[in-house]
Amino acid sequence: MDNLITGDVKNVEELFENRWFHFEHRDVTEYIHVGGRLDGILHFASPASPIDYLELPIQTLKVGSLGTHKALGLAHAKRSRFLLASTSECYGDPLVHPQSEDYWGNVNPVGPRGVYDEAKRFAEAMTMAYHRFHKVDTRIVRIFNTYGPRMRLRDGRALPAFMGQALANEPLTVFGDGSQTRSFCYVDDLVEGIWRLYNSAETLPVNIGNPSEMTILQFAEAVLKVTGSTAPITFKPLPVDDPKVRRPDITKARKLLGWEPSVALADGLKRTVDYFRAKLALDGPASGRRGS
């Protein structure tokens, strides 16, 4: 189920021929009725790029609150397992580094990023309330920066912005001086971690991400290397409340799930650039021109 506000039905077209797959173009913030049995509900609905949730602030807040409430209500009615896709943004601009699940965060609720941060924090609280009061079988994954094929070139996050700019041989846009850090996890590793969490018995939040930390400037240079681009790097002012550091403590995932990422950055970037080259050839270079 997707209202495609930030999605693309082309990403699931190959599944349409599978008789076990059914797609509904609907908004999860509205009443949900699904006939028959539901074994599980995975609630991933939300804009997740800073550009998206700054352009869609009300929709972001609604999907985190109303959407989570509707999805949990369905899980309660169907007695099905429920997994919430939460985010490292729950930690805000952290004062603890790396971030472990017992850290409560440093979030500005009235800043421009607050619409996403607080929507996800509310979603976690709602999920735990349904677990404790209605005994719904719930899971919460806090997803850290993830990259890979099928990201939108105009997504606005660092990876697609850098890829689009590098492949078009345009200046790579780095905000601030590029010293802020992120930890990038390849999508295959993320999916494996989420699947293991879903099939575990853990009901409290679990970080899933790559603890290998690097600066945004280093990441831009890695993209230039994998693309073979000679484009320069330009610097723009840092957005409001942009986290200075971001690195997951995955001790809990290692112990409970036996999980840790296995795809090296160079390998993941190579797989990703092949997708973006094909995407740019199909859509044209203009599709990649947007800030990060």
Question: Inter-axis angle of helices 114-134 and 68-78, to 10 degrees?
Answer: 20
Domain membership of residue 196 (yes or no) is yes
Contact 22, 5 (CB under 8 A): no
Catalytic site residue from 31, 53, 91, 116: 116
For the chain, how many structural domains are there in total? Answer: 1
Q: Which amino acid is at 60?
A: T
pLDDT tens per residue across span 133-169:
999 999 999 999 999 999 988 888 999 999 999 999 9
Domain membership of residue 31 (yes or no) is yes
Range of the domain at 253: 9-288
pLDDT at 156: 84
Which residues make Cβ contacts (< 8 Å) with residue 199, sequence separation at least 6? Answer: none
Average pLDDT over residues 23-45: 95
**Whole-number Å distance between alpha carbons of 49 and 68:** 19
Domain membership of residue 3 (yes or no) is no
Which residues make Cβ contacts (< 8 Å) with residue 279, sequence separation at least 6? Answer: 153, 287
Q: Considering the chain, what is the average pLDDT of its residues?
A: 94
Examine the residue annotation and report whether 116 is marked as an active-site residue of this protein: yes
Does residue 122 surpass a pLDDT of 50? Answer: yes
**Whole-number Å distance between alpha carbons of 171 and 230:** 9
pLDDT at 286: 46
pLDDT at 130: 98
Proportion of the chain above pLDDT 70, given as a percent: 97
Domain membership of residue 2 (yes or no) is no
Contact 220, 244 (CB under 8 A): no
Proportion of the chain above pLDDT 90, given as a percent: 90
Domain membership of residue 265 (yes or no) is yes
pLDDT at 290: 37
Domain membership of residue 1 (yes or no) is no
Which residues make Cβ contacts (< 8 Å) with residue 86, sequence separation at least 6? Answer: 120, 123, 124, 140, 141, 142, 143, 205
Domain membership of residue 4 (yes or no) is no
Against a cut of 0.85, is the pTM above it? Answer: yes
φ, ψ at 278 (rounded to 5°): -65, -40
Domain membership of residue 172 (yes or no) is yes
pLDDT at 285: 57
Q: What is the CATH number of the domain that holds 38?
A: 3.40.50.720
Average pLDDT over residues 116-144: 98
Q: How confident is the model at residue 281 (pLDDT cuts 50, 70, 90)?
A: confident
